[in-house]
Amino acid sequence: MSLRLILLCLLGALTLPLAAQDRLPPAPYAYQQLNDPAKEARAKALMEELRCLVCQGQSIADSDAPLAGDMRHEVRSKIAAGESPDEIKAWLVARYGNWVSYDPPFDGATALLWLGPLLFLAIGGWLAFGRFRRGKDDAEGGA
Amino acid sequence: MKNRWVLFVPLAIMGLLFGAFIYRLVTPAETLIQSQWIDKPMPLFDLPPATAGVEGLKSSQLADGKPRLVNVFASWCIPCRAEAPQLEALKAAGVPIDGIAIRDRPEDVAMFLREYGNPFDRIGSDMQSSVQIALGSSGVPETFLIDGKGIIREQIQGVILADQVPEIVAKLEAMK
């Protein structure tokens, strides 16, 4: 994955001058915080949880891609208008799927991630149990 | 003695994991993010004209009974230039096409249309990608097939290729 990212970055650096970016200034709320610190904190928390569509692997809070800036503008505008972070997230998930969130819900696709550690712990316990019992058998056999 | 094979289970699991990682490293996952906003009504919007001499685009105009294409493009998007001949071919086949110009300046849109032709009935200017985001679109060019009731039926990501043109014409015909 990291090798691929590095390659992508190199490719991006090579092609950027060719693939001309748009010449518009960033959207108002792309780089400007909301005046209300409480609202800005809510917006910031949500932006860190949303995945950038262009520079996949970065959150929209971290990305300098124009579309990420426009998404930050969207998030901050909606928060300023009184929408809750959950509503905004649901709005985006309806459009881009769970992919857009770094905190996907527990479902068929993520079950192994959540239950995997328990599963491996159980397997480890079972192995350890088997080993201890064998040790006892060996000791008895030797006596 | 038979139980000794159990000792190799962790190694086998590690081997499988390692294999899975190598596989994903060599064949990267699909990175196109498809819109989930399909079989849903066009989001409400009212975009101003993207350049002088071409009408802007309102979502209400997309439910006039005629199936059509909405092409999300930009003058600064290099692949969009390669798509222009296919859009011309679609227009020639009688397909109505509306455009949404993403983060674009009127003078740049005008130059793009002069150079690569204008197959669009209307072009709305989406300066802050807000309609693009509302559509679940993640790049340019993208094309949406809209039925006569203004419902989005399909999303095409990337450049429309020449051999896709007849298929698109047929799909829109079937929506009538």
Quick: pLDDT tens for A16-34.
Answer: 334 457 888 899 999 999 9
Residue A127: which of B8, B13, B6 has the closest Cα? B6
Is B16 within the bounds of a domain?
no
Q: Give me the number of domains chain B comprises.
A: 1
**If you average pLDDT over every residue of chain B, what do you get?**
94
**Would you kindly state where each structural domain of chain A is located, as residue ranges?**
8-105, 106-143
Distances (CA, A) of B100 to A2, A80, B23, B47, B48: 35, 26, 39, 8, 10
Residue A126: per-residue pLDDT: 92
Residue A6: per-residue pLDDT: 60
Which of B6, B103, B135 faces A66 most closely, judged by CB atoms? B103
How large is the ipTM? 0.84
CATH of the domain at B98: 3.40.30.10
Residue A131: per-residue pLDDT: 83
Show which of residues 78-97 on chain A sit within 8 Å of chain B, judged by CB atoms: 92-97
CB of B11 within 8 Å of a chain A CB? The answer is: no
Q: Which residues of A touch B33 (CB under 8 A)?
A: 53, 56, 96-97, 99-100
Mean pLDDT of B9-37: 91
Residue A17: per-residue pLDDT: 38
Q: How far apart are CA B48 and CA B37, in angstroms?
A: 23
The proportion of chain B whose per-residue pLDDT surpasses 70, expressed as a percent, equals 98
Judged by CB atoms closer than 8 Å, whether chains meet at B35 and A24 is answered as no
Residue A18: per-residue pLDDT: 40
pLDDT digits (tens, 9 = 90+) for A61-88: 999 999 999 999 999 999 999 999 999 9
Is B98 within the bounds of a domain?
yes
CB of B128 within 8 Å of a chain A CB? The answer is: yes
Angle at B66 between CA B64 and CA B67, to 5 degrees: 120
Output the DSSP codes for B15-80.
HHHHHHHHHHHHSPPP-----S--SEEPPP-EEPBSSTTSB-EEGGGG-SS--EEEEEE-TT-HHH
Is B14 within the bounds of a domain?
no
Residue with more model confidence, B3 or B141: B141
Is B25 within the bounds of a domain?
no
Is B23 within the bounds of a domain?
no
CB of A74 within 8 Å of a chain B CB? The answer is: yes
Min Cα distance A119 → chain B (Å) is 13
- Tokens at residue B74, please? 């930009």
Q: Judge whether residue A110 has pLDDT over 50.
A: yes
Write out the CATH class of domain A8-105: mainly alpha
Residue B39: per-residue pLDDT: 96
Q: Judge whether residue B91 has pLDDT over 80.
A: yes
Residue A13: per-residue pLDDT: 45
Q: Which residues of A touch B129 (CB under 8 A)?
A: 27, 66-67, 70-71
Q: Judge whether residue B27 has pLDDT over 50.
A: yes
Mean pLDDT of B23-28: 89
Instruction: Name the residue range of residue B138's domain.
Output: 40-174
Q: Which residues of B touch A96 (CB under 8 A)?
A: 33, 35-36, 136, 138
Q: How far apart are CA B130 and CA A51, in angstroms?
A: 16
Residue B72: per-residue pLDDT: 97
